């Protein structure tokens, strides 16, 4: 065979091999889907094989489906829904992860003096924010007092066997303020155990990151400018992290507007009412997303003065309050280590 022909064959085989290798790997893949009434995304730095991506997709979907099966009040057959319908104080066996989330929720309730409370399902329904709620409207004082009597974090506990117990049949759980964070942590554990080192996991705005992004710099997490205008896509600032969790609670996405007053979906467990304050949003950075998620809700209820004082007592936790003035201007209040920990960059004029 002529030498020229041999060279052409070798080059052709090299091109075929290069194309095959390229098609076998995906650079910086992003896996997306829906869960817990929100979207999720998992972003990787580097190359993953298509087989690895397929395996991860199935594992992620299975993990999130199981969390929903346990903790979604929107699924009438979930564990939490069965618990909410149960009567009496007999032990209610649950999955270990469900019990762990409830246990952490009760710990947060105790340490925040009741600013966080996982037993608000009846009140959320009353306001129209819960899975069994009807019209969104401001309830009467009498209705709030009546329903509030069946709430209270101290009316539920976990016994030595890991089973849930409740003081009265009317007590019901709602884990929406902590379950998404737990879901992010569960996916993070999955990726850690699989040996991945550079990734970004997000469910409904709650985030955990490891390592660096595809540009070999810390992952950039945007903090939304707090506005109820769905047409305005604007950032208040950007957090830069190589490890840790970020969660935000605010009044601008899920709310009730009545008589020109915006009532947040975040209820103050102590009063049974929607939080009405100058706090527009709270962002928390912590090692675990479950903690950041629950703490951001509690801090929104507590407000900046009480909340920042509490954060200063917590190791490895930082917070950013966005405060709305009477004329609608937004200002920032930080815990002492927030800016240094997150390399925060304020971008109040960024509009898209």
Query: Where in the chain are the domains?
Result: 86-166, 211-351
Q: How many CB atoms lie within 10 A of CB 90?
A: 9
Q: Residue 194: CB partners within 8 Å, gap ≥ 6?
A: 56
For every residue of 40-108, DSSP letters joined together read EEEEESSEEEHHHHHHHHHHHHHHHHHHHHHH-TTSTTSHHHHHHH--SS--B---HHHHHHHHHHHHH
CATH number assigned to the domain covering 86-166: 1.10.3980.10
Q: Are 79 and 94 in contact (CB under 8 A)?
A: yes
Note the pLDDT of residue 4: 56
pLDDT digits (tens, 9 = 90+) for 59-115: 999 999 999 999 999 999 999 999 999 987 889 999 999 999 999 999 999 999 999
Smallest CA-to-CA distance from 39 within 183, 238, 173, 240 is with 183
Cα separation, 138 vs 47, whole angstroms: 52
Note the pLDDT of residue 92: 94
Smallest CA-to-CA distance from 272 within 132, 131, 106, 114 is with 114
Cα separation, 172 vs 120, whole angstroms: 7
pLDDT digits (tens, 9 = 90+) for 123-170: 999 999 988 888 899 999 999 999 999 999 999 999 988 899 999 999
Burial of 347 per CB tally in 10 Å (0-12, 13-18, 19+): middle
Cα separation, 189 vs 176, whole angstroms: 20
pLDDT digits (tens, 9 = 90+) for 32-57: 999 998 999 999 999 999 999 999 99
**Residue 3 pLDDT level (bands cut at 50, 70, 90):** low
Note the pLDDT of residue 17: 39
Smallest CA-to-CA distance from 199 within 44, 56, 41 is with 44
Comparing 86-166 with 211-351, is the CATH topology the same? Answer: no
Q: Which of 177-186, 257-266, 330-339 has the lowest mean pLDDT?
A: 257-266
Superfamily of domain 211-351: ApbE-like domains (3.10.520.10)
Smallest CA-to-CA distance from 145 within 324, 7, 273 is with 273
Angle at 186 between CA 159 and CA 83, to 5 degrees: 35
Q: Which of 5-14, 177-186, 237-246 has the lowest mean pLDDT?
A: 5-14
| Cα 295–chain centre separation | 11
**Residue 23 pLDDT level (bands cut at 50, 70, 90):** low
What element of type H or E holds 286?
A: strand 279-286
Note the pLDDT of residue 232: 76
What element of type H or E holds 262?
A: strand 261-264
Query: For 294-314, what is the mean pLDDT?
Result: 98
Cα separation, 67 vs 60, whole angstroms: 11
Greatest mean pLDDT among 149-163, 178-192, 225-239, 257-271: 178-192
């Amino acid at each position: 065979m002529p030498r020229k022909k041999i060279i052409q064959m070798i080059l052709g085989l090299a091109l075929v091999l290069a194309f095959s290798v390229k098609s076998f790997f995906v650079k910086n893949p992003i896996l997306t889907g829906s869960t817990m009434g929100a979207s999720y995304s998992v972003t990787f730095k580097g190359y993953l094989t298509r087989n690895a991506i397929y395996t991860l997709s199935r594992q992620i979907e299975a993990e999130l489906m199981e969390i929903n099966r346990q903790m979604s009040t929107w699924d009438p057959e979930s564990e939490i829904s069965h618990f909410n319908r149960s009567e009496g104080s007999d032990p209610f066996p649950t999955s270990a992860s469900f019990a762990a989330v409830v246990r952490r929720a009760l710990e947060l309730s105790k340490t925040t003096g009741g600013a966080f409370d996982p037993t608000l399902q009846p009140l959320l329904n009353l306001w129209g924010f819960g899975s069994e709620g009807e019209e969104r409207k401001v309830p009467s004082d009498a209705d709030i007092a009546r329903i509030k009597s069946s709430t209270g974090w101290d009316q539920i506990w976990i016994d030595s066997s890991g089973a849930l117990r409740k003081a009265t049949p009317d007590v019901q759980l709602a884990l929406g303020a902590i379950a998404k964070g737990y879901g992010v942590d569960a996916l993070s554990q999955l990726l850690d155990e699989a040996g991945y080192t550079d990734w970004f996991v997000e469910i409904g705005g709650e985030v955990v990151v490891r390592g660096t992004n595809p540009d070999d710099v810390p992952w950039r997490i945007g903090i939304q400018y707090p506005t109820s205008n769905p047409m305005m896509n604007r950032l208040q600032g950007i957090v830069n992290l190589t490890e840790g969790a970020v969660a935000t609670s605010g009044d601008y996405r899920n709310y009730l507007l009545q008589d020109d007053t915006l009532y947040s979906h975040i209820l103050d467990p102590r009063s049974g009412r929607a939080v009405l304050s100058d706090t527009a949003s709270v962002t928390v950075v912590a090692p675990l997303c479950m903690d950041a998620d629950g703490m951001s809700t509690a801090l929104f209820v507590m407000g900046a003065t009480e909340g920042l004082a509490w954060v200063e007592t917590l190791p490895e936790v930082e917070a950013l309050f966005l405060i709305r003035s009477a004329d609608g201007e937004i200002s920032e209040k930080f815990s002492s280590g927030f800016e240094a920990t997150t390399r925060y960059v304020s971008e109040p004029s960024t509009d898209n």
